[in-house]
Amino acid sequence: EEVDRLRVRSPQGLAALSPRQIADLVIRKAAHRSTSSAPVPIRMEARPRAALDRTACDEAEVGVLKGQSPVAACQEDPRQELIQRAADLLVAAGYAVERIPAPIPLPDGTPFQPDLTIREEDRLLPVEVEDLSRPPEEREARWEACYRLAGGDLRFIAPDPGTLDRVRSEVFYWLGPRPFSLRMTDLSYGRGRYGEAIWRIQRGTK
């Protein structure tokens, strides 16, 4: 095709070229046409993470906003999937559950985002889904925030009985002599309806 164009424009000029020169010319023309017609990459906009005002599972929250189920949106993050399984357990037991709670201000004004929140007798209570994967300092800081928010009413869900036993030991040691009301369970136990049946461990000094 390129040779035909050259022949129409200048038959004499084409005759003066050797076959090798003609081939080189055709290759250069074809390369130029391919380069000039290549599509320009489109730069995708970044996800609006800041607008979500969250500290964890940003990808999952975007998925929820797009209509995905929380578990599907969090499936690449084992801890977030665990939190959503705990939420499913609480919903099945009759609790009103906030799966992605908005940050709640502590008494000193510091925002804190629990793993989950539930309604108990018109009270909003934080729930920590604890698998002991976070550093001890971070765990205890979060427990302290829950204690302050709920006035000592603590709720914990662990993935299995072994982890629950370890969490119970750590929480009791951390609480010390302070007054508290504590309910704990794991995903293999809580299958009852709202109230007593779902919680494997119930302790309190209040």
Query: Any idea what the CATH number is for the domain that residue 166 is in?
Result: 3.40.1350
Domain identity same for 108 and 32: no
Domain identity same for 97 and 16: no
Q: Is residue 67 part of a domain?
A: no
Domain identity same for 189 and 96: yes
Q: Are 171 and 154 in contact (CB under 8 A)?
A: yes
**Band (152; pLDDT cuts 50, 70, 90):** very high
Domain identity same for 111 and 188: yes
- Model confidence at 87: pLDDT above 60: yes
Please give the pLDDT value at position 55.
Answer: 41
Least-confidence region, from 14-23, 107-116, 141-150, 168-177: 14-23
Q: Is residue 143 part of a domain?
A: yes
Half-sphere exposure of residue 172, counting CA atoms within 13 Å on the CB side?
A: 13
Contacts of 157 (CB under 8 A, 6+ apart): 86, 89, 90, 127, 128, 129, 130, 184, 185, 186, 187, 190
Bridge-based pairing state of the strands 181-186 and 153-158 = parallel
Domain identity same for 196 and 98: yes
Q: Is residue 177 part of a domain?
A: yes
Q: Is residue 131 part of a domain?
A: yes
Domain identity same for 23 and 107: no
Query: What DSSP designation does 67 have?
Result: T
Q: Are 181 and 154 in contact (CB under 8 A)?
A: yes
List C-alpha distances in Å: 128 to 6, 24, 86, 134. 77, 71, 10, 12
Q: Are 79 and 92 in contact (CB under 8 A)?
A: no
Average pLDDT of every residue of the chain: 75
Could you tell me the pTM of the whole model?
A: 0.63
Domain identity same for 29 and 106: no
Domain identity same for 100 and 197: yes
Query: Measured between alpha carbons, how far apart are the two ends of the chain, in Å?
Result: 91
Q: Is residue 56 part of a domain?
A: no
Please give the pLDDT value at position 23.
Answer: 58
Domain identity same for 102 and 168: yes
Which domain, by its residues, includes 31? 2-36
Q: Please tell me the total count of domains within the chain.
A: 2
Q: Is residue 86 part of a domain?
A: no
**Band (61; pLDDT cuts 50, 70, 90):** very low
Percent helix / strand / coil, the chain, rounded to 5? 45, 15, 35
Q: Is residue 66 part of a domain?
A: no
- Model confidence at 83: pLDDT above 90: yes
Domain identity same for 105 and 197: yes
Closest by alpha carbon to 5, among 33, 21, 26, 36? 26
One-letter identity of residue 4: D
Domain identity same for 106 and 193: yes
Q: Is residue 140 part of a domain?
A: yes
Strands (E) across the chain are located at 97-98, 104-105, 111-112, 116-120, 123-129, 153-158, 181-186, 201-204
Domain identity same for 100 and 180: yes
